[in-house]
Structure 1
């Protein structure tokens, strides 16, 4: 009978340890779930704020700035317009 009581006491102590461990793991799971929710919220906020459209100056203004800095430049207004079109298309494809 003493041996059975001793065995029951050991099992009871082991069961208590398992309950404590299980409780700690449950708390850790809750904390990790909260961190995941916050990370998802931050990610969505970053994603939403990153979807801004770049604004480019007018082609004629850019051409004038270029001609001021590089007097002998052979770039024409159509070239500047084409470059801005490429940049806008690149910007649009990065938003998707």
Structure 2
């Protein structure tokens, strides 16, 4: 009879240990589930960030293409203007600047040579 009681006590202790381990295992399972949910959330954020970067890159590329196109058109128009007047591009710009200066400051004593000198300084 004592052996039976001792066996029952051992079984109860083992069952209690098993219950404790099961409770710890359930806690670990909950932590793992939370980590999995966080990983999925981070994956989603990363995917959204990649999409945003891709969209930004496409917009930047389109803007660059548009800028290059506009610059090309501007050079073409300046070349046409310079060919039509028989002056080179720097003379046209200097003359335009001198005209603007004279229109804003009627008594300005600057002449075309002065404006060209300023433009040369700025080009350096």
TM-score with structure 1 setting the length: 0.65
Q: Which has the higher helix share?
A: 2
Higher Rg: 2
**Alignment of structure 1 residues 23-62 onto 2, 5 Å:** 23-51=33-61, 52=63, 53=65, 54=67, 55-56=70-71, 57=74, 58-59=77-78
Secondary structure of 1:23's aligned partner: helix
Consecutive unaligned residues in structure 1, runs of 5 or more: 84-96
Q: Look up the SS of the partner of 1:74 in the other structure.
A: helix
Report the RMSD for the aligned CA atoms in angstroms: 2.7
**2:116 aligned counterpart, secondary structure:** coil
Unaligned stretches of 5+ in structure 2? 1-10, 82-88, 102-110
For the structure 1 residues 49 and 3, does the alpha-carbon distance in structure 2 shift closer, same or farther, using more than 3 Å as the test? same
68 and 17 in structure 1: CA distance in 2 versus 1, 3 angstrom threshold:
farther
> How many correspondences in the alignment?
77
Choose between structure 1 and 2 for higher RCO, CA contacts under 8 A separated by at least 6 residues. 1
